[in-house]
Structure 1
Amino acid sequence: MSVTPKSDINWQPLASPQADANPAPNFFGELVQETLALTRRLFIQLQRRPSTLVAGIIQPVMWLVLFGALFQNAPKGLFGSTTNYGQFLAAGVIVFTAFAGALNAGLPVMFDREFGFLNRLLVAPLASRFSIVFASAIFIISQSLLQAGVIVAAAAFIGAGLPDATGLFAIALIVFLLALGVTAISLGLAFALPGHIELIAVIFVTNLPLLFASTALAPLSFMPQWLQVVATLNPLSYAIEPIRYLYLHSSWELSSVVMQAPWGDVTFGGALLVLFGFAVVALLSIQPQLRRTLA
C-alpha cells in the first residue's frame, strides 16, 4: 500500500466556526439599516396620526388664500413689480411652513426621552447612536419638502404661477438647507432642555417674531430702517427672497440680485451660501451636546 507523502498533501487551514458565525461588521451598512428602521418608525407614527401632517398643509394653504384675498386691492407697487399678492406671498408661506415644521423636529425626541424609549435606544447595540438624529432629520426634511410641494401646487392654482423645472429644484434645495439647519437647532434643544414644556415655549416665542422680522409678508422697502436691519439678519429672508425671485422673474441666474440689504445687494448665489453656512454652523454647534447626551 502506497502512502502519499506528507509534502504532496495540499494542507489548508480550517475556517474557524466563530469567524463564520461573526463576520466583520459593516459599520456603514448597519448605520443605514438603523437609520432607515428608525425613520420608518416615525413615518408609521405619522400614518397612525396623520392629523399633524394634514394640519401642517391646510394651515399654510389657508394663509395663502386668505392673505391673498385680503391684500388683492393693495396699492400698485406696494409689493414690488407684481399686483398679485398671492404670487408675492407664496415664497413666504413655503419658507415659513418649512421653518415651523423643522422647529418642531425636537418634539418626538423629547417625548421619547420622557416616555423612556430613548433610554432603550441608548442601551441597544447600535452601530452609532447618531442614527437617532439622522432618522429625525430625514423625517422632518421629507415632511417639509412634501408640504412645500403642496403649497407650490396651491399657489399655482390660485394664479401665482409655477417656476420651471430648474426653479422647482432651486426651491427644493432652499427648503432643504433651511430645514436642515433649523432641524439641527431643534434637535440640539431637545437634548439640552429639561422637558417638552420648555421646548414648546421656545417654539412659541420664536415662531411669530421670526415671521414678522422677515420679508415673508412685506418687502424690505415697506419696513422701518431698524426692522430692515433685523430682517436682513434673519435666515428666513435669505430663503424667501430667492424663491420670490423665481416667482416674479421668468429667467434667473446665480448673480441675480434678490435682496437689497442696508449694507449691499444680495445675489441668488449669495443667499444660497448664507443658507448653506447657516446649516453648517447649526450642525457644528450641536455636536458637543449630542456627543455628551449620546455617549
Structure 2
Amino acid sequence: MSQTIDSPEREKKMTTQPVPETGNAIAEFLQETTALTKRLFVQLQRRPSTLIAGIIQPLMWLILFGALFQNAPKGLFGESLNYLQFLGAGVIVFTAFAGALNAGLPVMFDREFGFLNRFLVAPLSTRFSIVVASAVYIVVLSFLQTGIILTAGALMGAGLPGGLGLAAIAVIIFLLVLGVTGLSLGLAFALPGHVELIAVIFVTNLPLLFASTALAPLSFMPKWLQVVATLNPLSYAIEPIRYLYLHPDWNLGSVVMHAPWGDVSFGGALLVLAAFATVLLASIQPLLRRTFA
C-alpha cells in the first residue's frame, strides 16, 4: 500500500513546482542584450579610433564644404541663409547612414574569429539578443555623432532647431539607422567574409550620397537624377531635418520636398522611413532564423 499511495509531502512538492514566467524571459533577454552591448562598448573603449574618425570626418565636411561655398549668393540653396544650414542636414544623415552601414563588421569579425559560434551555443534565452545589442550600440553612437555635429554647426553659424525639432531629428535618425543596421547585419550573415562586406560598403556609400539631396537641392539636378534622389531613403531623412533648421513653426503637414511626382510632407517622409526600416527588418528575419538554427 505504501508503494501505491502518495504521501502528503510528495503531493505538496508536486503541486508547488515552479511555473515558467514571461517576466523572467524578458529579464533574461534584457540582461543578455545589456551584456552583449557592453561588450561592444568595451571594444570601442579599447579601440576608439572608429569613433574618433566618425566624428572628425563630418566636422571636416562642415569646415571644408562650408568654406568652399561661403561666398555663394543667398538664395542659391533655397531658403538657407548660408551653405552650412543647407549642408548640416546632409552631414548628419550621411554620418548616421555610414555608421549604420558598418554595423555588420563586428558581427562579421566575430564570425571569422569563432566568437559568434560561441554565442550560438551559449545558453541564451534568445539569439536575437545578438542582433538587438548591435542595433542599440549603433543607435547610441549615431546619437552621439549627431549631437556633436549639431553643436559644431551651431557654433559655426548654422543655428539650432528647437527642443521639439531636436526630438524630431532623433526620431528620424533612429528610423534610418534601424533600417540600415538591419541591412548591414543581414549582409554580415549572408556574405562569405569581411572583404566582401567592406566592398559593398565602399560601393554603396558614395552613390547614395551623390544621388540624394545632401549636397545640392533637387532643383540643381537633371530630371533623371531628381527621380533617383526621390527614390533614395536618405533624401527622406535629409529634407525634414533641413526643414527643421529653417522653419521653427513646422508640423507634420509641412511640405519638405517637391518631388517630380508630387509634394512630400514631413509626416509623409517619416512614414517612408518607418516603412523602409520595417521592410528591411522583416526581410532579414528568415535569414537570421536559418543562421541561428
TM value normalised by structure 1: 0.93
Residue identity opposite 1:34 in structure 2: E
Q: Do structure 1's residue 264 and structure 2's residue 262 form an aligned pair?
A: yes
Query: Which of 227, 230, 244 is residue 229 of structure 1 equivalent to?
Result: 227
Any conservation in 1 of the 2:165–2:248 contact (CA below 8 Å)? no
Shift of 1:15: 3.7
Residue identity opposite 2:49 in structure 1: S
1:186 match = 184
Distance 2:238 2:57 in 1: 18
Shift of 1:71: 0.4
Residue identity opposite 1:73 in structure 2: N
Give unmatched runs, 5+ long, in structure 2: 1-7
Residue identity opposite 2:43 in structure 1: Q
Q: Do structure 1's residue 38 and structure 2's residue 36 form an aligned pair?
A: yes
Query: Which of 157, 161, 164 is residue 162 of structure 2 equivalent to?
Result: 164
Any conservation in 2 of the 1:177–1:275 contact (CA below 8 Å)? yes
Q: CA distance change for structure 1 residues 252 and 116 in 2, over 3 Å: closer, same or farther? A: same
Please identify, of 76-85 and 242-251, the stretch whose mean Cα deviation from structure 2 is larger: 76-85
Secondary structure at the aligned position of 2:237 is classed as helix
- Structure 1's consecutive aligned runs of 4 or more residues displaced over 3 angstroms after TM superposition are 10-16
Shift of 1:75: 2.8
Shift of 1:168: 0.1
Secondary structure at the aligned position of 2:258 is classed as strand
Bigger Rg over Cα: 1
Distance 1:244 1:153 in 2: 15
Q: Do structure 1's residue 249 and structure 2's residue 247 form an aligned pair?
A: yes
Any conservation in 1 of the 2:182–2:280 contact (CA below 8 Å)? yes
Secondary structure at the aligned position of 1:126 is classed as coil
1:210 match = 208
Distance 1:124 1:216 in 2: 44
Distance 1:241 1:202 in 2: 26
Q: CA distance change for structure 1 residues 293 and 12 in 2, over 3 Å: closer, same or farther? A: closer
Residue identity opposite 1:24 in structure 2: P
Secondary structure at the aligned position of 2:33 is classed as helix
Residue identity opposite 1:291 in structure 2: R
Shift of 1:14: 4.3
Distance 1:67 1:248 in 2: 19
Please identify, of 81-90 and 167-176, the stretch whose mean Cα deviation from structure 2 is larger: 81-90
Shift of 1:77: 2.0
2:20 match = 24
* Aligned length in residues: 284
1:219 match = 217
Any conservation in 2 of the 1:72–1:83 contact (CA below 8 Å)? no
Any conservation in 2 of the 1:72–1:85 contact (CA below 8 Å)? yes
Any conservation in 1 of the 2:74–2:82 contact (CA below 8 Å)? no
Secondary structure at the aligned position of 2:215 is classed as coil
Distance 1:122 1:244 in 2: 43
Distance 1:70 1:249 in 2: 25
Secondary structure at the aligned position of 1:251 is classed as coil
Distance 1:255 1:45 in 2: 43
Q: How does 1:80-159 map to 2 (within 5 A)?
A: 80-159=78-157
Q: CA distance change for structure 1 residues 125 and 216 in 2, over 3 Å: closer, same or farther? A: same
- Listed one character per residue, the Cα deviations across residues 91-150 of structure 1 (whole Å, up to 9, x for unaligned) are 000000000000000000000000000000101111000000000000011101110011
Secondary structure at the aligned position of 2:216 is classed as coil
Shift of 1:76: 2.8
Secondary structure at the aligned position of 1:82 is classed as coil
Residue identity opposite 1:163 in structure 2: P
Distance 2:254 2:159 in 1: 20
Give unmatched runs, 5+ long, in structure 1: 1-9
Q: Do structure 1's residue 240 and structure 2's residue 210 form an aligned pair?
A: no
- Listed one character per residue, the Cα deviations across residues 27-67 of structure 1 (whole Å, up to 9, x for unaligned) are 11111111110000001111111111011011101101110
Distance 1:165 1:31 in 2: 33
Residue identity opposite 1:200 in structure 2: I
